[in-house]
Structure 1
Amino acid sequence: MKNILIVLGSPNSPTGELGDLSLERLNCCKQNFKKGDLILCTGGWGKHFNISKYSHASLAKTYLIKKGIPEDVFLQFALSQNTVDDAVKVKEILKTVENCNLTIITSDFHLERVSLIFNEILKDYKKQFIAAKSTMDIDSYNQLVVHEKKAIQSIVKNGLYY
């Protein structure tokens, strides 16, 4: 049974420099990677997270390779624009892989919503979730927690559309 580490995207600069959230998630991926694992990076382009000429997923892959991850363990990119799109595009890619377990890596403040979304869209897969510890200042962190709670309430109230 293959294990696939799925690293969710997050903002990078207009020139393609990975942001702190991205680095935290990617370093978490590196720490959890074991020989035999595959990696699937998510993130395409979008006004709110990446306006560079490079897909976020390609920036993530380049970073992980520089950190010593072999290039041949990477699956096709999920060129997504948001968390629901992550799961939808990942599901399409997973159709090409038999017998796999999923390890989904995101930030600690984002974990509850990611679990809700991925458990719905990828309900036929065995999965675990890993939260990369956020190191931002407490005010910024609390703003993101409030945003996540509102997003979760919206999903619970209105359902998940994909």
Structure 2
Amino acid sequence: MRKVILRLVVLLLLAVGLAACSEQGSSQNSKGENDSKASKATTEQSGNASEESVEDLFKRVKNNSPTSERVNALKDIAMHYYWYGGDVKKAEKNVFKGITLHGDYDVVEEAFRQASQIDPYDLDLRYSIASAQVLQKDIPGALDTYQEILHLDSKQFNAQLLYGIYSKVQGNEADYQSSFKKLDELNKEKADAYRHRVELVDEKKDATLHTEAPDDISKKNHAFVVLGYALSDEGKMEDTLKERLKVAKKAAEEFPESKMIVSGGVPKKGNTEASVMYEWLADHGIDKDRIIKEDLATDTVENALFSMEIANQENINDITVISSASHMRRALVIFNEIDRMFEKVHDKKSGRQITNMVYMDYDSEKEARKFTKDEELVVYRDLMRASGIWSFPGMQR
């Protein structure tokens, strides 16, 4: 019991610490896998935007309401559509008259845009606009938004950084290099830290994806970390998760001394990804004492953050991440980033080896080796989030 309480306290402190790393906009700090709309939380998860109906939120956006109430209502509308989705036509009719919206993320972007029109000096709102544009793969639009932020405040480190990173994703090496020169002037040490993160992506994009257990897996103080995948609305496993578990079962049988950390929250019908993975592995012969449930994570960043904390608490050193091939490069980048974060927290090198095993969800190994622009985009997007830069400052990492 004491260990559980200690874990929860440490996780809370880490969440606060990561938020404090963000310098987006004002002093406020700032989902694929569980990172996309397909796996948004159900109404079993609560939040400010889910405590009242979307109709009530629409009613709060009135010209005769105080400025802060209108801005907060628009922010709540944005978060409601981000997490739960909704009737886009109803949003057009009630709030965004004269604007054609094509999907939930359009609503998110437009809600933040209208809030920014009301309060143009709140840079966090502009960061949120850019994040909604990144979610829709509108990188030119996001770059323009970061430029707007820099026009208002040229010393915004995160805006300059994100402008450079997404310029690189666009293939604009000149703007990437120019941005980092400006970052050097703002904070050379921090700029170099992000250069190392770019090098991490360059390294992991060529990572070998192992369908069998790597030869160098340690047989001591080692764990397999199985990453979850969104459950159906009925709380059942989809085929993708079942395939990952088949890989995990094989690995567990080959390495009987290794622990198994099953990671994934996002409850559906009372089930979390971790709970159904735990039961599946136990039903297929894996000793329950070997399996550790991590049922708080809602996305890849939290898979890494919370699983690595368990590894530290359980004195587990080396880990092997198990996921789909299409997800693995992103997972490796994020797990290595979180490992570096823990090294800073504890002020010592972990010496941790992070390997991988995959369920091959590509048609061929040749296709699996391709690091596409779309994949590069989500890798960098999540890496920035893992580094402490929230997508929607003060609301959602």
1:96-107 equivalent positions in 2, closer than 5 A: 96-107=313-324
Superimposed CA distance per residue, residues 18-39 of structure 1 (whole angstroms, 9 cap, x where no aligned partner): 1111011111001111211110
Query: How many angstroms does 1:3 deviate by?
Result: 1.6
Q: Is the 8 A contact 1:88 1:121 kept in 2?
A: yes
Instruction: Supply the distance in 2 between the matched residues of 1:44 and 1:28 (Cα, whole angstroms).
Output: 20
Partner of 1:8: 227
Instruction: Supply the distance in 1 between the matched residues of 2:319 and 2:246 (Cα, whole angstroms).
Output: 18
**Pair 1:12–1:120, CA change in 2 (3 A):** same
Q: Secondary structure at the match of 1:68?
A: coil
Instruction: Supply the distance in 2 between the matched residues of 1:117 and 1:31 (Cα, whole angstroms).
Output: 25
User: Would you say 1:38 and 2:259 are equivalent positions?
Assistant: yes
Mark the structure with the bigger radius of gyration: 2
* Aligned mate of 1:134, from 341, 348, 361: 361
Counterpart amino acid of 1:52? K
1:79-98 equivalent positions in 2, closer than 5 A: 79-98=296-315
Q: Is the 8 A contact 1:78 1:86 kept in 2?
A: no
Instruction: Supply the distance in 1 between the matched residues of 2:299 and 2:382 (Cα, whole angstroms).
Output: 14
Instruction: Supply the distance in 1 between the matched residues of 2:315 and 2:264 (Cα, whole angstroms).
Output: 23
Counterpart amino acid of 2:256? K
Instruction: Supply the distance in 2 between the matched residues of 1:101 and 1:90 (Cα, whole angstroms).
Output: 12
Q: Is the 8 A contact 1:11 1:21 kept in 2?
A: no
Instruction: Supply the distance in 1 between the matched residues of 2:321 and 2:256 (Cα, whole angstroms).
Output: 17
Counterpart amino acid of 1:119? N
Query: How many angstroms does 1:146 deviate by?
Result: 6.5
Partner of 1:27: 246
Counterpart amino acid of 2:387? Y
Q: Is the 8 A contact 2:301 2:385 kept in 1?
A: no
Q: Secondary structure at the match of 1:95?
A: helix
Structure with the bigger percentage of helix = 2
Query: How many angstroms does 1:154 deviate by?
Result: 2.8
Q: Is the 8 A contact 1:78 1:93 kept in 2?
A: no
Q: Is the 8 A contact 1:44 1:78 kept in 2?
A: yes
Q: Secondary structure at the match of 1:40?
A: strand
Counterpart amino acid of 2:278? K
Aligned sequence identity (%) = 23
Instruction: Supply the distance in 2 between the matched residues of 1:82 and 1:99 (Cα, whole angstroms).
Output: 22
Where do 5+ consecutive residues of structure 1 fail to align? none
Superimposed CA distance per residue, residues 6-52 of structure 1 (whole angstroms, 9 cap, x where no aligned partner): 0001021122211111011111001111211110001111xxxx533
Q: Is the 8 A contact 1:117 1:160 kept in 2?
A: yes
Superimposed CA distance per residue, residues 77-134 of structure 1 (whole angstroms, 9 cap, x where no aligned partner): 2420000011111122122222531011010001111111011112432110111112
**Pair 1:155–1:8, CA change in 2 (3 A):** closer
Q: Secondary structure at the match of 2:294?
A: coil
Instruction: Supply the distance in 2 between the matched residues of 1:65 and 1:99 (Cα, whole angstroms).
Output: 21
Instruction: Supply the distance in 2 between the matched residues of 1:148 and 1:42 (Cα, whole angstroms).
Output: 22
User: Would you say 1:161 and 2:387 are equivalent positions?
Assistant: yes
Normalising by structure 1, we get a TM-score of 0.82
Q: Secondary structure at the match of 1:102?
A: strand
Instruction: Supply the distance in 1 between the matched residues of 2:374 and 2:295 (Cα, whole angstroms).
Output: 24
Instruction: Supply the distance in 2 between the matched residues of 1:23 and 1:134 (Cα, whole angstroms).
Output: 12
**Pair 1:74–1:99, CA change in 2 (3 A):** closer
Give the number of aligned pairs: 150
Q: Is the 8 A contact 2:245 2:281 kept in 1?
A: yes
Partner of 1:68: 285
Instruction: Supply the distance in 1 between the matched residues of 2:245 and 2:353 (Cα, whole angstroms).
Output: 22
Structure with the bigger percentage of strand = 1
Partner of 2:378: 151
Partner of 2:268: 51
Instruction: Supply the distance in 2 between the matched residues of 1:94 and 1:67 (Cα, whole angstroms).
Output: 24
Q: CA-atom RMSD, angstroms?
A: 2.3
